Chain A
Amino acid sequence: MSRIDTTFGKLKQQQRKALIPFITAGDPSQQLTVPLMHGLVAAGADVLELGVPFSDPMADGPTIQRASERALRNGMSLRGVLGMVAEFRKQDATTPVVLMGYGNPIEAMGWEAFAQRCAEVGVDGVLTVDFPPEESHEAFEHLQRHNIAPIFLLAPTTNEARIEQVAKLARGYVYYVSLKGVTGAGNLDLSAIEQKLPLLRKHIKLPIGVGFGIRDAATARAVAKLCDGVVVGSRIVQEVEDSSEKNVVANVGKLVKELRQAIDQ
């Protein structure tokens, strides 16, 4: 059983919801990424989404764009991110790690080499924002061969036929984008999420995580009531940006603890 399935299985038994924080690898520095990952777990994260920086992050708002730029300036690369996961796994063999980013760095490395390396270092899932199911055949084949879960996005604009299509391909969990917009936007509509979920549940038997636009404990708690996991990205990346390197692990830990408590209430 995969780490993702085990984690969600355990949470279900405990009747708890997953907290899935996102950070960009290499931000604020390469040295701090692994300590931040351990800090997130210590503060109550269940699954880690590790952003692979890309020069042209089209689906991201300004906060994650800036994080990507900082990370690239710090020399972060896809191979470097994979090395960080290997480092993280030396001390944490159980927390699932999902790489999230855009397809081109993987295309440049080659899907087979990438998937193989993911398996070696202990990556559990891969979410490629700009590779919809239509263009994921090759990716899917290589990820499956190495038991890496392809994680797919669903959006408010996704129709039922596409939900069915994603249901067939997805492994691990499905990430529902809770608003029309880029990451970090502030116009979250809870009732719209609530209305969409029955249609998602009809076809998707995997856990459903919801993200985009979750900015504080109150929205995290409200969203957690509706789904199986809460993804928080820009708010955490903002905290990284606002913190000094000395305080960043502590500050991010404090924020994630608050989110954890809110979700568990």
Chain B
Amino acid sequence: MSYNYPDSSGHFEQFGGIYMAETLIPAVEELRQQYLRFRDDPEFKAEFAYELKHYVGRPSPIYHARRLSESLGGAQIYLKREDLNHTGAHKINNAIGQALLAKRMGKKRVIAETGAGMHGVATATVAARFGMECIVYMGAEDIQRQAPNVFRMKLLGATVVPVESGSKTLKDACNEAIRDWVTNVENTFYIFGTAAGPHPYPMMVRDFQCVIGNEAKVQMPEMIGRQPDVVIACVGGGSNAIGMFYPYIEEKGVQIIGVEAGGHGITSGKHAAPLTGNAKVGVLHGNKVYLMQDENGQIIETHSISAGLDYPGVGPEHCLLKDLGRAQYVAINDDEALNAFDSLCRFEGIIPALESSHALAHAIKIAPGMDKDKVLLVNLSGRGDKDMNTVARIKGITL
């Protein structure tokens, strides 16, 4: 297989594209040209590498979760520790890459959408780091769910704008950020948080996040003398997952599993799993993807315990990987994710983000049925500090 996507017009076969209003088309075209110009520029690459090493703290380690693995009695679970990054999640990798590009394009104002708040925090962080004005759009419901992150963004000097329209979650924050961009297109850079949206975002975000998988491909042979049997990551829009998966696409021996948010269960309809739930192809936020919608093409409200996965679409490259059969996609329900969250706390002393707990839950599910010499590499995309309020509420505890 020679895998080479997207094509020059930003398509991953039928997926992707640039489905945007005319006012923004020149902006995404400018972004595409500038990104293509700088991505292979030695100076840009060196600066990106420097920031990842000295500011983010990369490479992030891989950790063998021995006690957890022993308790399951099957495959060995290894964790790629993106939770140890500065700001506590993989989001910073992409935010730095885009901020460096914004700087070169002379844009002094950056905007972002955020769900769980991790991308908002990452964007607020790099805006402070590079001296840019920062506006973050966040659904009013998510502001409730993720109060600590809202405070962090404000400490970092960002303006957090609550979005009251629609379902008041991530998709509505995207809508509002797009409205800002269309209004302020000349001085504003939209730091988009996931590997979705109009071309070149799915490609660019993937490229910035590939540091995850590229490091793992070096680290795993150092630790165990070979590559893992399976790589697993959670998928909302899918940026941490594509960052882990992409470098492994041509490694035929490595199975790839993306884990979507099953919410109350796929059959309940209350979930955020367009791939597992066999959603129809549709167009939203600049790209054609599998999209949760009703029979009239209206986007339906999604549900997940984790704000970062609570999104009706998914990045176009995941849609393609599903169709090609190169990656498998499964769903993990809220309660399974919570159990995995507890297990990692108790067995390993690591508090994972609820998003990452979905990936972990699937590893916990399949490990017992596998031989002890098999290796599962889970991308632990973020830490769980932000989820204290949510978890406490579910456990009936007042903080």
Contact = CB atoms under 8 A, between A and B. Distances in A.
A104 to B, nearest CB: 4
B26 A157 contact: yes
B297 interface: yes
A187 B284 CA distance: 27
Contacts of B25: 132, 134, 155, 157-158, 162
Residue of B171, B182, B295 most packed against chain A (CB within 10 A) = B182
A185 interface: yes
A132 B299 contact: no
Contacts of B291: 104
Interface in B295-311: 295-300
A63 to B, nearest CB: 12
A204 to B, nearest CB: 14
Interface residues of A, number: 41
A24 interface: no
A16 B240 CA distance: 57
B22 A55 contact: no
Interface stretch (B13-21, B72-80, B318-326): B13-21
A151 B166 CA distance: 28
A54 B298 contact: yes
The binding surface of chain A is classed by DSSP as loop
Interface stretch (A72-80, A219-227, A232-240): A72-80
A59 B24 CA distance: 10
B27 interface: yes
A152 interface: yes
Interface of A: 54-59, 61, 65, 69, 72, 77-79, 102-109, 129-132, 134-135, 152-159, 162, 177, 180-182, 185
Nearest to A80: B296
B293 A58 contact: no
Contact of B296 (A105, A131, A153, A156): A105
B282 interface: yes
Contact of B22 (A57, A78, A104, A177): A177
B284 A104 contact: yes
B4 to A, nearest CB: 20
Nearest to A105: B297
B298 A135 contact: no
Of the listed residues B23, B186, B285, the one surrounded by the most CB atoms of chain A closer than 10 A to its CB is B23
Interface in B243-282: 280-282
B301 to A, nearest CB: 9
Given A104-B297, A180-B185, A58 B175 contact: yes
Contact of B297 (A109, A129, A130, A158): A109
A107 B20 CA distance: 15
Given A107-B281, A130-B283, A134-B18, A59 B182 contact: yes
20 contacts: A54-B297, A59-B23, A77-B296, A105-B298, A107-B282, A107-B283, A108-B296, A109-B297, A132-B18, A132-B19, A135-B17, A135-B19, A135-B288, A152-B22, A154-B22, A157-B22, A157-B24, A157-B185, A177-B23, A180-B182
A157 B20 contact: no
A56 B291 CA distance: 13
B147 to A, nearest CB: 26
A159 B298 CA distance: 32
B18 A135 contact: yes
Contacts of A77: 296, 298
B26 A130 contact: no
Most buried by B among A72, A131, A132: A132
B9 interface: yes
User: Closest 5 CB pairs between A and B?
Assistant: A108-B297, A105-B297, A155-B23, A181-B183, A77-B296
A33 to B, nearest CB: 16
Nearest to B178: A58
Interface in B208-230: none
B251 to A, nearest CB: 33
A83 to B, nearest CB: 13
A158 B26 CA distance: 6
Nearest to A212: B23
A156 B166 CA distance: 29
B71 interface: no
Interface string B7-40: 0010000000111111111110000000000000
Contacts of A177: 22-23
B152 to A, nearest CB: 27
A182 B21 CA distance: 10
B376 to A, nearest CB: 37
Given A104-B284, A104-B291, A107-B283, A180 B186 contact: yes
Contacts of A106: 297
B165 interface: yes
A161 B172 CA distance: 33
A159 to B, nearest CB: 6
Contacts of A180: 23, 182-186
Contact of B299 (A55, A61, A65, A130): A55
Nearest to A66: B165
